[in-house]
Amino acid sequence: MNHHEQETMADTIERVISESGNFFGVACNTTDLVTEACRRHDVGPLAAAALGRALTGAALLAALLKDSQSVFLKFEGSGPLKKIITEAGYDGWVRGYVANPHAEVPLSNGQIDVATGLGRAGFLTVVKDIGNNQKYPGTIQLYTSEIGEDLAYYLSQSEQTPSAIALAIHLQKDGTIAAAGGFLIQSLPPADETLLTHLEQEIAAMPPLSQLLLEGKEPAAILSQLFTKVPHKKIGTRKLFYACSCSKGKMEGALFSLGEDDIRQLLEKEDGAEVRCEFCRQSYHFSHDELTKLLKNGQTPAN
């Protein structure tokens, strides 16, 4: 997939594995890419927190894959945000959007209430694209609608890999993203109960993840802290960036799928049409001539 990167980003994702091979850890900083997504989609605070978590979660899940593979997440709930869609590739690109970027709900104990915003009732759909048109979809009911716990529940239920996920998005008073990031720890078979207990204790004893990110703790340092009592080795670091695979050709395909009547209406109403990518908000203009040609192609009988 050919992705165009939006800006130079400083975000990174780090991966480690325990010496025994029983535990896999990933941590990432997503401050810049979440900032970029929020800027492009002009989101309010609730959508910023929810979209930020979903983008970070997608980046963490993509790190469990291999080169050129990707993961697609769809959170669909009964709340005012309605739907959040994010996608991330093992290669480091991340993109996403929220259906209702200006939805708001009252604060809960002074905190942005993502669960109510998404809605307690709904579904999480995860689709893994492993290349060669091989896609593996899975769907679960939303567990807590907090996003991180829903992803952990998905991994334990659908993939039988007990996982701990933490996602943190810290907003300034003016709504800008002060820090964003997350970590994911997976227990791989055979389960080592002693080390699992150590990891659970480390997670419980850690300061809040948002605090660590605000202090400038790098993903590698966060993993080192989590794996204090677990001998581990570094697998690798990769850059993360907000990027999209949209193009005029793909948008033409979207227009083409509208059907004859809709294209005729566009031709009648105005001189051409503006089509905007849902993921990155980039606009593509199609002139009157281009639409006429598209209509003509649509009427050509298939050979």
* Average pLDDT value over all residues in the chain: 88
Q: What tens digit of pLDDT does each residue of 140-170 get? A: 999 999 999 999 999 989 888 889 999 999 9
Of residues 242 and 8, the one with the higher pLDDT is: 242
Question: Exposed e or buried b for every residue in 99-115, given b needs 16+ CB within 10 A?
Answer: ebbebebeeeeeebbbb
Task: Specify the pLDDT at position 154.
Answer: 96
pLDDT at 302: 39
- CA dist 192 and 10 (Å) reads 35
pTM over 0.75: yes
DSSP code of residue 279? T
Examine the pLDDT at 258 and tell me if it is beyond 70.
yes
Distance of CA 151 to the CA centre of its chain: 11
Domain boundaries, the chain: 10-243, 248-298
Both structure tokens of 252: 């033409």
pLDDT for 5 beyond 60:
no
> 200: which residues sit within 8 A by CB, 6+ positions away?
164
CATH of region 248-298: 3.90.1280.10
pLDDT at 186: 93
pLDDT at 299 over 90: no
In the CATH scheme, what is the homologous superfamily, with its name and number, of domain 10-243?
A: Hsp33 domain (3.55.30.10)
225-244: per-residue pLDDT in tens? 999 888 999 999 999 999 88
DSSP 198: H
